[in-house]
Amino acid sequence: MRIFATLVICFISISVFAQPDRWQQKVKYVMDINMNVQTNRFTGKQKLEYWNNSPDTLYKVFYHLYWNAFQPNSMMDARSRELGKIQFRGRDGNPVGDWDPRVQNRILNLKPDEIGYQKINTLKLNGVDQQFKIYETILEVNLSKPILPKSKVVFDMDFEAQVPLQIRRSGRDNPRTGVRYSMSQWYPKMCEYDYEGWHPTPYVAREFYGVWGDYDVNITIDKNYIIGGTGYLQNASQVGYGYEDAGTKVNRPSGNTLTWKFNAPNVHDFMWAADPEFKHLTRNIPNGPVIHVLYKNKPNDAANDAAWKEVADAAVTALPFIEKHFGEYPYKQYSFIHGGDGGMEYPMATLIAGPSLGTVFHEWMHSWYQMMLATNESLYAWMDEGFTSYAEGLVSAFYKQKKAGLISGLELLADPAKAGQSADLPLYQDDSYTGYFNLVRSGLEEPLTTHADHFNTNYAYSNAAYSKGAVFLEQLGYIISDSLRDKTLLEYYKQWRFKHPNANDFIRVAEKVSGIQLDWYKEYWVNTTKTIDYAIDSLWEQNGKTNIRLKMIGQIPMPVDVSLQFKDGSKETAYIPQLIMFGEKPQEDTTPRVVREPWKWTHPVYTFEVNQKLMNIKSIEIDATQRMADVNRKNNKLELNW
């Protein structure tokens, strides 16, 4: 009987955290690129092996041709100019357009030799020429022969491209950075086909979604140019420029060009950047990846060198903390590369316009919340940007405390006093909550389910994806406890990395970890723009005990922590779970806690009794930790100055 019971327990344990089994497509790219740095154009040959692991027969396929967006009157151009007509008050009080300041109307003014394009010269499926149509940034291929389920085909493509002036993310000759080439979204890329069908999302502004696979990319360019990017350099002894092993003699081939050979396994994109004046720093993390930092050299600028050196050193310091709390980094290298137009993440690398550590940590954490978990950013931008912003805050706080010598080892900032943080709210979360509250007050909020390109304003998108998305995780800690939220994040990583999870996949992990029903939380927070507002309504004494009545003013139901402080200095927490949780969070601190009857969300008021006379109560506060995103905190606290 004991053996049977043990087997049952083991089975239950395995079932609770069983690995999800969701089919997904697979690709292997082999590309040979020949870049002309005088004309800013390149030719490319692409061999693409495509595995249709779906149960469906595919009669067509789609590719992204991102750079076609950088042409006058493109969808990106038109959308940017249209949003620019929406006026807001800037920080200086003057009206500004809602457009992305990096784009504005710049695409409209590009000259023929400044635009971007990707042209397809030939395309074959298993050696047979294919007919195709180009819809600006999307290539549609009606296949001469369908791709059957569980089969593999090979596409061969000859293409050419012109690198646009730096407008958004990718391009050349950005005056801000001085970097020659930021090569992102630079090749014809197969669109994702998943359980929801094809995702041929035109390039209007944001975001990205790609097929997992392997890349072999050979880039031939002027031999004076130094490259950094995705993947592992295969011919370091021929290339040099700091990639070679110590003591290795570099033997570059003769001629004016040099071919860089990269391999990138199990990624869903490939980025590279090139400049003849890149300075290359490396750091080796014990039992971890090699950190590369490539930045535009400024002669006799010691401050610039020191700032980029700190980027490399900060990565070494932060990685153990990151891996402990968010999961292992599985690749053998990561590169921080000067370029782009701000900060933008890619597999094994990021483009950053400067050495700001906030940007550095944000883009690196995208390695977890986009490069490894890879939700569909267009549909779940808040799971990408919001989760990353939340993680960035933790990592930044850790690094600041570590650098100041206030913490050691892998200590989580669990003790606010020791960590140098506010006892009410972690410093890193102030901006997220403020951004969300400002969004609510603006009247421009749209549900998080809105497609990233379809928000009515850039303002609403940014504050929803970054701020409300980050609040989602911090507030989840309020609902199920911080410790179970942290465990959920690690379990989510273990179960769903390399598998394109969606919002429900995350919620199911949180439910299994916590034992609490959370479908309602996703429904209210993600699918609606309803808000939270709880208030202390009234209190009165009866038979020597105090009755406290709370009121639900907002439309989102939440569990409620009520902190009580008495005149004698003692404290007590009244914990009121929501009935629809069908469970309760564990106690989070040493303050005595009394678990009350669940609150039914259909009832606007809730009354509970405290075994103290009214005159003995010094203060009452709803959610003293301020993790609940209550839009009106003025009615959350009552000070009784008897």
Per the structure block, which two tokens stand in for 507? 């919620």
Task: Kindly give the pairing relationship between strand 593-595 and strand 571-576.
Answer: parallel
Residue 407's pLDDT band, with cuts at 50, 70 and 90, is low
3-class SS string, 622-636: ECCCCCCCECCHHHC
**Percent of residues in the chain assigned helix, strand, coil, to nearest 5:** 30, 30, 40
Q: What is the DSSP letter of 174?
A: -
Residue 160 has pLDDT above 90, yes or no: yes
How large is the angle between the packed helices 519-527 and 503-514, nearest 10 degrees?
A: 150
Q: H-helix or E-strand containing 515?
A: none
How much of the chain exceeds pLDDT 90, in percent? 89
The pTM of this model reads 0.93
Q: What is the pLDDT of residues 116-151, one digit of tens each?
A: 999 999 999 999 999 999 999 999 999 999 999 999
The tokens describing 606, both together, are 């809730």
Mean pLDDT of 619-624: 98
Q: Give the Cα separation of 542 and 305 in Å (integer).
A: 70
pLDDT in tens, 207-231: 799 999 999 999 999 999 999 999 9
Measured CA to CA, the distance from residue 575 to residue 626 in angstroms comes to 15
C-beta separation of 633 from 437 below 8 A: no
Which range (91-105, 542-556, 585-599, 618-632) has the least confidence? Answer: 91-105
- Sheet with 128-129, side-by-side order of all strands: 128-129, 117-125, 151-162, 41-52, 26-36, 213-222, 257-267, 232-233
Token pair belonging to 99:
């457009």
Phi, psi of 460 (to 5 degrees): -65, -40
For residue 350, give the nearest of 452, 273, 267 by alpha carbon: 273
DSSP string, 19-79: PP-----EEEEEEEEEEETTTTEEEEEEEEEEEE-SSS-EEEEEEE-GGGGSSTT-HHHHH
DSSP letter at 616 equals G
Neighbours of 551 (CB within 10 A): 15
Model confidence at 430: pLDDT above 90: no
Nearest by Cα to 279 from 301, 256, 253, 255: 301
CB 638 within 8 A of CB 610: no
pLDDT at 182 over 80: yes
Phi/psi at 298 (5° precision): -120, 105
